[in-house]
Amino acid sequence: MTMLKVQGLSAGYGAADVLHGVDFFVEQGAIVALLGSNGAGKTTILRALSGLMPARGTIDFCGSNLTPCNAAQRVALGLAHIPQGRGTFGDFTVEENLAVGAYTVGDRQQIASDMERWYAAFPRLAERRQQQAGSLSGGEQQMLALARALMSRPKLLMCDEPSLGLAPAITEEIFEILKSLNREHGMTLLIVEQNADLTLQFADTAYVLESGSFTVSGAARDLLGNEAVQQSYLGV
């Protein structure tokens, strides 16, 4: 089943568009990567999808047209967005951050059981429940950002540059977590990354964005080492 179908998505800041009518889709259960160099428009795509900025085009998510929905309604429909830079609240404890993530979920018992589920999946967060998020390491903050997004019970988890600012070993750990969320918890993932090699090794499908348009797309394994992908990054 196609979970997300995006057609002719355009968006920009002020008068100028930075996205020029992009089309892509995400199958249920898949890991889809949006790749591209700095400034290509990757973050703009996620912001447009989650309703944080106005956009044109059509966004079909699990059979619903998202265009008339605001950001909170999109979260309630199952679209979670982990922003670039993580977006956790540094002055709040780990537990308070998780509670904020559940703001669209009304049932207290469900919130409590989800919290225990994600503490079990992220034992380092469980050990730091009462610690301020700002005092966590970069890798732990990314884990918290993931767990917080999972508290909204998403169908699709969108993650903007999870590797940003992390050492290579920590990045690998985060990608292992993402892989297990997909394989063991059935989570569909839309990952934005500049780190093409690493991402192509674990995604199913990838789209390469250059100046607001896709230049290359296909099965991730076919794009690994692809010359056009490299050129897109080097801007040749």
Ligand X SMILES: Nc1ncnc2c1ncn2[C@@H]1O[C@H](COP(=O)(O)OP(=O)(O)O)[C@@H](O)[C@H]1O
Applying CB under 5 A, which residues contact Mg ion?
Answer: 42-43, 84
Contact 208, 36 (CB under 8 A): yes
Q: Counting contacts by CB under 6 A, is residue 171 touching ligand X?
A: no
Measuring CA to CA, which residue among 205, 220, 230, 211 is closest to residue 24?
A: 205
Return phi, psi of residue 84, to 5°.
-60, 135
Which of Mg ion, ligand X, none is residue 44 near (CB under 5 to 8 Å by kind)?
A: ligand X
User: How far is residue 159's CA from residue 145's CA, in Å, rounded to a whole number?
Assistant: 9
Return phi, psi of residue 224, to 5°.
-65, 120
Q: Please, which residues have CB within 8 angstroms of residue 167's CB and are 6 or more apart in sequence?
A: none
Q: Counting contacts by CB under 6 A, is residue 195 touching ligand X?
A: no
Q: Counting contacts by CB under 6 A, is residue 41 touching ligand X?
A: yes
18 sits in which H/E element: strand 16-27
- Of 119 and 207, the one with the shorter C-beta distance to ligand X is 207
- Of 97 and 217, the one with the shorter C-beta distance to ligand X is 217
Q: Counting contacts by CB under 6 A, is residue 13 touching ligand X?
A: yes
Of these, 22, 30, 33, 42, which contacts ligand X (CB under 6 A)?
42
Q: Taking CB under 6 A as the criterion, which residues in 20-39 touch ligand X?
A: 36, 38-39
Residue whose entry in the numeric block shows the structure tokens 């674990």: 202
- Of 10 and 84, the one with the shorter C-beta distance to Mg ion is 84
Q: Counting contacts by CB under 6 A, is residue 44 touching ligand X?
A: yes
Calculate the CA 112 to chain-centre distance: 24
- Of 5 and 20, the one with the shorter C-beta distance to ligand X is 20
What is the closest distance, in whole angstroms, from the C-beta atom of residue 41 to Mg ion in the complex? 8
Q: List contacts with ligand X (CB under 6 A).
A: 13, 18, 36, 38-44
